[in-house]
Amino acid sequence: MALRLPGQWVWDSWYAFDGVNHHAFYLQASRALGDPQRRHRNTSVGHAVSTDLQNWTVLRDALTPSESPAFDSWTTWTGSVLRHEGKWFMFYTGTSRENAGQRQTVGLATSDDLVTWTKIESPAGPGEPLVAADPRWYQTLEGGFSNEPFRDPWVFRLPGEADDGLWHMLTTANSAASNTGHQDGVMAHATSEDLIHWTVREPLSLPEQGFGETEVFQFEIVDGVPIILFCCGPIWLHPSRLDAGERGGVYSLPVAADLSDVDFNRAVLFDAPGLYASRLVKLDSGWNLIGFWDAPDGTFVGELSDPIPVTADPVRGLVRR
């Protein structure tokens, strides 16, 4: 059955596999808030485990906001988890009360067991983010924009012959060269040798490719096809996609293994109305998609879906298996 909590709404999630259990980390907020829109500023990161992605055991929460002043003094939002040299690394999004939550940046916590997490101090100093948008390429408060989207970090190594010895981070961001409101979205990029010191680089995509923001990136090789997975809500879709009948949701984009050809004009909407912020998770039987149910019938649901078996096509992107 899907992960539904009686006391909390659940939305964006990310996953790790320890060899036995799949660990789901997810944004959660109390249903007592009443209005689902209030959940975004009242979050913590929950944690549950499963062997089959269907039957879940809820564990202690993983992360909560820091005390002020700090880059994550208001919220801890979406991230990703990886294992390196025997330790687990969770990269996550933070927003701060000190700037009214308008600046989104990236922080890091580590764990030996995926249960107890310790936030790591940034090389920039206490309370500072690990990675933040560079105004040369991305919309920032410093650059005169009203908000600074730089969130949902996905960290990985390039596969096979494309591996350049670096860790790569993809994040949601908006181009400093565009201010249209519905075509500003780009895939931000940063690299690191040690997972601690990061260099922010030019985006791997261009603006004016049909999306005002592209959220919750993931890069995987799905049955031999390199795939970028992301989502976009209707408020950020270009009118041409709205006119074509799209209302947002989960999108996929076949790409080169070295990410040298990212063109969101080619992104394809996955057929699952109401599903959002999905992740690819692999079982022995193959790849599966898990996201949260937003509002398929007009009312916010706030629970994780059952796994949807998927494969990939070089043109159509993710398709049901």
pLDDT digits (tens, 9 = 90+) for 88-132: 999 999 999 999 999 999 999 999 999 999 999 999 999 999 999
Residue 233: CB atoms within 10 A of its CB come to 16
pLDDT digits (tens, 9 = 90+) for 14-67: 999 999 999 999 999 999 999 999 999 999 999 999 999 999 999 999 999 999
- With a cut of 70, say whether residue 1 has pLDDT above it: no
Q: Which domains does the chain have, with CATH numbers?
A: 63-293+308-320 (2.115.10.20)
Q: Tokens for 294?
A: 């937003």
Q: Which residues contact 230 (CB under 8 A, 6 or more apart)?
A: 187, 214, 215, 216, 217, 218, 250, 251, 252, 253, 267
| Residue 56 and residue 43 in contact, taking contact as beta carbons nearer than 8 Å | no
Tokens 């706030």 sit on residue:
302
| Residue 140 and residue 148 in contact, taking contact as beta carbons nearer than 8 Å | yes
Q: Which residues contact 156 (CB under 8 A, 6 or more apart)?
A: 82, 167, 168, 219
